[in-house]
A = this chain, B = another copy of it.
């Protein structure tokens, strides 16, 4: 039987359509039929911008009509000039790459203005041969590049609020971005320095005024850590660590020390202030877990989402992003009835390990209240938890590594709210 807008095979309750729905034709979901008079005047009426030469060469920025697409929440903590965070406007983006100007930022004492000609990377501590690298010497080593996400472990922390905060997706979940990161595998440099048998950890320090320092186990360093010098094809932006940062695929952003100055090989973790007073996970028995680096499997529907309201009953595209610190996304499931029934979303072509993955599906909204959710599953079988499951074993005020399911409520006016089930 031929499908029409009134005769559709649904994949789950409350309007979720089969993920291949958009590949079928003849449903007239969006395009407007042109009248004979409109058609006969086609090509005669011209828009104002067709009547005169356009803007000159070299314009390289976004359109003036898209100025609302900017980092969310730029501002410093009281009493500081550059400590705080700003977020990627995930509700306005598509695809998997985050433009570098929109990458989230989290700084602890502003953005240092580093002269690359003066900068050095020093490898020392428990090594046979302490080494110092200039930018020029680093450029002679093997260079790798991979498209991978970076997420602050404090991302989504506002979701621990006892009552759901009415904030946009970017404000709640925008401390995640995805870039092509390029640089030198740290293993090569450490092999050259020669790690002594007692060297089991490193401590990486930045050359910001806060001298951000984090300890990392040597196994991760020798596995896939890089000294990143490039982001999306060009040198790192200062807000992302120019001229170099540590990058640990799939691990929390804070450990990917920006403006990297030293790698010291140590026998154990260094217990720096940023891995003791902060970036630790308090359990409900009062003990804090340290060094919980990998980011969990996670997804969020970015459209529709709070502030991107529906304009009336009809067919919409539900879309969002999913990611996992453990590897590739295997599938994303969608529900429009608060988790009673689920349908599988369509994943975009590029499903890469430890990268943002774009999912989407079609949804026929009938104008009644709805509750939409996404649930990601990664290739290791990890399943994104519910909010209730996430809190099991955790203290009520711990907020790092929050990866529970985001639920958006849709009311009869098409307005979207952040809701807890």
Contacting pair A124 B54 (CB below 8 A): no
How many identical chains are in the complex?
Answer: 2
Contacts of A243 in B (CB 8 A): 63, 65
For chain A residues 70-119, which have a beta carbon within 8 Å of chain B?
71, 74-76, 80-82, 84-86, 92-102, 105, 107, 109-119
Question: What B residues does A315 contact at CB under 8 A?
Answer: 140
Assess the A145–B232 pair: CB atoms within 8 A.
Answer: no
Return the CB mask of A39-53 against B: 1 if under 8 Å, else 0. Answer: 100110011011111
Interface presence of A390 (CB below 8 A): no
Q: Mark A119-158, 1 if CB is under 8 A from B, else 0.
A: 1001110000111111011111111111100000000000
B146 touches A113 (CB 8 A): no
Residues of B near A113 (CB, < 8 A) are 49, 54-55, 63-64
B38 near A316: Cβ-Cβ < 8 Å: no
Contact across chains for B358 and A145 when beta carbons are under 8 A apart: yes
The interface stretch among A187-195, A293-301, A367-375 is A187-195
The answer to whether A197 has its CB under 8 Å from any CB of chain B is no
Docked complex: A205-225 residues within 8 A CB-CB of B = 207-209, 211
In contact, B95 and A30 (Cβ under 8 angstroms): no
Asked whether any CB of chain B lies closer than 8 Å to the CB of A245, the reply is no
Contact of A209 among B52, B61, B80 (CB under 8 A): B52
A114 CA to B50 CA, complexed, in Å: 9
List 24 interface pairs A-B (beta carbons < 8 Å), by A numbering: A30-B139, A31-B137, A32-B137, A33-B131, A34-B124, A39-B124, A43-B262, A49-B112, A53-B109, A55-B110, A55-B113, A56-B110, A57-B85, A58-B74, A58-B105, A65-B116, A93-B233, A94-B234, A95-B230, A139-B317, A140-B317, A142-B317, A232-B232, A350-B352
Of all A-B residue pairs in the complex, the 5 with the closest CB atoms, nearest first, are A54-B110, A22-B142, A25-B191, A30-B137, A49-B112
